[in-house]
Amino acid sequence: MSVLDREIMALLRHVSEEAILPLYRALDDGQIEAKAPGDVVTVADHAAEAMLTEALAAFEPALPVVGEEAAHADAAVMDALTGDCWIVDPLDGTRNFARGEAPFGILVARAEGGVAQSGWIYDCLSGRFCAAHAGAGAFVDGERIAARSTGQTPPLAAISLLFMEEERREAVKQQVAPHYRLTDIPFCAAEQYPRLALGVNDVSIFERTLAWDHAAGALWLNEAGGKAARPDGSAYRVDEWDRPGLLGAASPALWDELAEHMAGL
């Protein structure tokens, strides 16, 4: 494990232990707020983001930090995604966390010119630490991994319909879903991406593609030998946050099959 990976792992563990886990199953109603329909934020999100922002800014003082909650408060924060920056989801899976359920985690990425170069995924409950760097492979707890499928027929698919328009949602149900055995979605990218590489799921469809949800995971899955890309095959970029649609798969072959089913939708 590199020095940077060790430092990031220690930081994410510290933030989890100090800002997140003490409030797990201990939130009161006043500590949960609605951000949008079906989307909430908690005091743990804010506390974790403040800690992460301060620490990451100390690593590289000239590098801006694009945090989910900061961007929600001020959309101008997103402008930094076009350059070099840190990207932070301080508590991915807040919906689960607020209900006292798993999974939830922390996502951090470092991007240059709109492209993620490093990414880290931390599972707050298990301590699983995923790391990836462009061109250098993907790792879980310091061990290099290679993506593997479930080996099931039909393949196992986690399809998120949450943010799709109604017409597109129905088209996916009719034209894509019948080719797969459907499984639950974890409402947590910090869990979904590892599932795609670790033999739990074969493919996944994401509609909303905000940088803090996907920068780290898409890079990590690609570095593991799976594939995450736009439905047209183009690479995921963090500065295209308002562009819908992202497909993930345990292998390029599984990705190609999914993209073929999605064609024309």
Please report whether residue 149 resides in a domain.
no
Provide the pLDDT for residue 84. Answer: 97
The CATH number given to whatever domain includes residue 246 is 3.40.190.80
Mean pLDDT of the chain: 96
- For 227-255, what is the mean pLDDT? 96
Q: Which of 78, 109, 144 is the last residue of a domain?
A: 144
Q: Which of 102, 122, 144 is the last residue of a domain?
A: 144
Tokens of 103: 């999974």
SS3 (DSSP) at 20: helix
The CATH number given to whatever domain includes residue 85 is 3.30.540.10
DSSP labels, 124-186: TTT--EEEEETTS-EEETTEEE--B----SSPEEEE--TTS-HHHHHHHHHHTGGGSEE----
Q: Note if the bond before 103 is cis, omega within 30 degrees.
A: yes
Quick check: 112 pLDDT over 90?
yes
Q: Is 45 a known ligand-binding residue?
A: no
- For 225-247, what is the mean pLDDT? 96
Expressed as residue numbers, the domain containing 182 is 156-262
Q: Is 92 a known ligand-binding residue?
A: yes
Show the CA angle centred on residue 196, arms to residues 192 and 202, nearest 5°. Answer: 120
Count of H-run helices and E-run strands, the chain:
8, 14
Q: Is 242 a known ligand-binding residue?
A: no
Provide the pLDDT for residue 264. Answer: 78
Instruction: Tell if the pTM clears 0.85, that is, is over it.
Output: yes
Same domain flag for 13 and 136: yes
Sorting pLDDT into bands at 50, 70 and 90, what band is 265? confident
- For 133-155, what is the mean pLDDT? 98
Q: Which of 115, 144, 173 is the last residue of a domain?
A: 144
**What is the bridge-based pairing of β-strands 115-123 and 129-133?**
antiparallel
State how far the Cα of 81 lies from the Cα of 224, in Å rounded to an integer: 24
Please report whether residue 150 resides in a domain.
no
Q: Is 91 a known ligand-binding residue?
A: yes
**pLDDT tens-digit profile of 47-104?**
999 999 999 999 999 999 999 999 999 999 999 999 999 999 999 999 999 999 999 9
Same domain flag for 131 and 182: no
Same domain flag for 7 and 99: yes
Sorting pLDDT into bands at 50, 70 and 90, what band is 38? confident
Please report whether residue 100 resides in a domain.
yes
In Å, how far are 47, 78, 177 from 55, measured between CA atoms? 13, 20, 43
Provide the pLDDT for residue 162. Answer: 81
Provide the pLDDT for residue 222. Answer: 98
Q: Is 161 a known ligand-binding residue?
A: no
Quick check: 207 pLDDT over 90?
yes
**Number of domains present in the structure of the chain:** 2
Pick from 22-36, 74-88, 249-263: least confident = 22-36
